Structure 1
Amino acid sequence: MIEEGNSTISILRQCKILGVPRSSFYYKPVEKGDSDIKAMNLIDEIFTKYPFYGRRKINKYLCKIEDMQISIKKVDRLIRLMELQAIYLKKNLSIRNLEHKKYPYLLSGMDISEVNQVWNTDINYIRLVKNFVYLCALIEWHSRYILSWKLSNTLDTAICLEALEEALKRGKPRIFNTDRGSQFSRNEFTNRLLIEDVEISMDGRGHALDNIFVERFWRSLKYENIYPNSYETFLDTKIGISYYFRFYNNDRPHKTLDYNTQELVHWKRNTTPGGLHEDYFSLNGLRSSEACSHVMHS
């Protein structure tokens, strides 16, 4: 039983003992009106297909193509709730907290050619049938390997820290790059990186296009897993995404990696110019077709 007055301490302790992320413990279904959920899901589809669309174009698309009566003010409110940012050069790339320290952008002109040279993290809206959740993913920039991820119904620093702690068990980057959103600029997050002697880089004006490969990753996730499966519950979503990330890292060849996989490049196992090593599938237990089957039926 949780004693009154010590509930927060008890919950944290129980989550740690059971190995349950705190954000999952606090999960409650997101209660939004059906019209808002429908609009948000359409906005998600539009933005995934056209990540360069801003609120005005999305509003016009909803009104003319989807025949929806929705004001630009409502579209703007939902876009902010979903934490979407169009990919184009603009004055303000993210919602900031002026009290948090901002770090310079360190990647200009840098040749990112080594594993663990740069890590990057981002948060995205993930739709359910009647609700929605947020997904934080931490990506190794050179190999495109998904180091860790956390799912939550709340948009706060907690899931970002949990993803970071899990990733740090697998290695450490020289540079950690994020946008200037409040989840990543809070002292709790940046101090954790400083303790590990990691240089912090934050996107600033003129660097929106540097994260295009991250947007392509979100697009792959949604088109290949989220949209086809139409998850109804938090648990179903978590299980389905878990299968997909295993497939994405271990079985899905990547064109920019010479058709090797993220797993092979990240851990430097048997990478070969022009394709997969002949013993690759035996290293992973599941063949690509089997992984796809698990993902699509999860």
Structure 2
Amino acid sequence: MIFLSWRQAKVLKLARSTVYYEPRPVSAEDLALMRRLDELHLDYPFAGSAYAAIVAAAGGGIRRSPPHRDADEAHGDRGRSIVAPNTSKPAPGHKIYPYLLRGLKIERPDHAWAMDITYIPMRRGFVYLAAVVDVFSRRVLAHRVSITMEAAFCVEAVQEALAKHGRPEIFNTDQGSQFTSLEFTDVLLDAKIAISMDGKGAWRDNVFVERLWRTVKYEEVYLRAYDSVSEARASIAKYLAFYNQGRPHSSLDGRTPDEAYFGTQAMVMAA
């Protein structure tokens, strides 16, 4: 496996998320548990501290032994941490920005974007998926797949979204250390974008991206068993292209995210 520091990757002009091609060694038992945790979280995102009881009632077989620590850490706050520390906590000293979307009516593209990270199971390990989503149209503007949860792959996705689509007025995330890092927030501040962050434990604040995770996992990820990071990256990219271009949404009056994003965007510009 190749490991590059952030500085080495910058000198070589390589994205760190592209030089990790070996899945983490995880036992079949832990992978099965991670999958079950993930499914239950998608069904009960509101559970909070009651999550462990729901898992136990559903036959999750949670034990507090070390082998299951990785399974819980992979989910972080999205798995409502049963054993491990909450990986969505900001790092010490990182600034937390106020939540700006409460009560805000979003009626046009690029008014607000949201971003989140989720875990993706593979045949012999797992990776992380980060996506930037336009809140109005549900369109995925950029995404990255990585085996680490460092800020770098999130920054790359944001930079791609900004380069391709301009900038939103507001950018919303949770309080994870990736999103509170200076490396990440400086990109938004330099672009003069208002930063919004979910309240601690407020699962519904970033529900726009949570709905995307549910769709991606039930329609793509859970139907496959990726053998490598490169296979996961290619297959997820293909699905997200379909999601944007060919999957109608009832919340968009039967339009696809592309139709809602580009069609409404054109009307706003014409007006």
TM-score for the superposition, normalised by structure 1: 0.77
How far did residue 252 of structure 1 move? 0.4
Alignment counterpart, residue 68 of structure 1, candidates 42, 50, 61: 61
1:49, 1:150 → 2: CA distance? 24
1:115, 1:49 → 2: CA distance? 28
1:142, 1:68 → 2: CA distance? 39
Alignment counterpart, residue 109 of structure 1, candidates 94, 103, 107: 103
Question: Aligned ranges for residues 73-92 of structure 1 at < 5 Å?
Answer: 78-85=71-78
Unmatched tracts of structure 2, length 5 or more: 81-85, 267-271
Alignment counterpart, residue 120 of structure 2, candidates 113, 121, 126: 126
Q: Deviations over 1:86-137 (max 9, x none)?
A: 69xxxx9931223111111112221111110101100001000110000000
1:129, 1:178 → 2: CA distance? 29
Amino acid at match of 1:251: G
1:110, 1:205 → 2: CA distance? 19
Alignment counterpart, residue 237 of structure 2, candidates 238, 242, 257: 242
Alignment counterpart, residue 22 of structure 2, candidates 21, 24, 28: 28
| Residue 44 (structure 2) pairs with residue 50 (structure 1) | yes
Which of 1 and 2 has greater Rg? 1
The aligned length equals 258
Following superposition, which runs of at least 4 residues in structure 1 exceed 6 angstroms of deviation? none
Alignment counterpart, residue 183 of structure 2, candidates 188, 195, 206: 188
| Residue 218 (structure 2) pairs with residue 223 (structure 1) | yes
In 1, are the aligned partners of 2:111 and 2:168 still within 8 Å (CA)? yes
Distance change >3 Å, CA 70–CA 159, structure 1 → 2: same
Distance change >3 Å, CA 222–CA 162, structure 1 → 2: same
Distance change >3 Å, CA 100–CA 126, structure 1 → 2: same
2:133 aligned counterpart, secondary structure = strand
| Residue 170 (structure 2) pairs with residue 175 (structure 1) | yes
1:120 aligned counterpart, secondary structure = strand
TM-score for the superposition, normalised by structure 2: 0.84
How far did residue 229 of structure 1 move? 1.6
Percent identity for Structure 1 against Structure 2: 37
Amino acid at match of 2:146: S
2:88, 2:181 → 1: CA distance? 14
Counterpart position of 1:203: 198
1:270, 1:26 → 2: CA distance? 37
- Specify which structure has the bigger relative contact order, considering alpha-carbon pairs within 8 angstroms and separated by 6 or more residues: 2
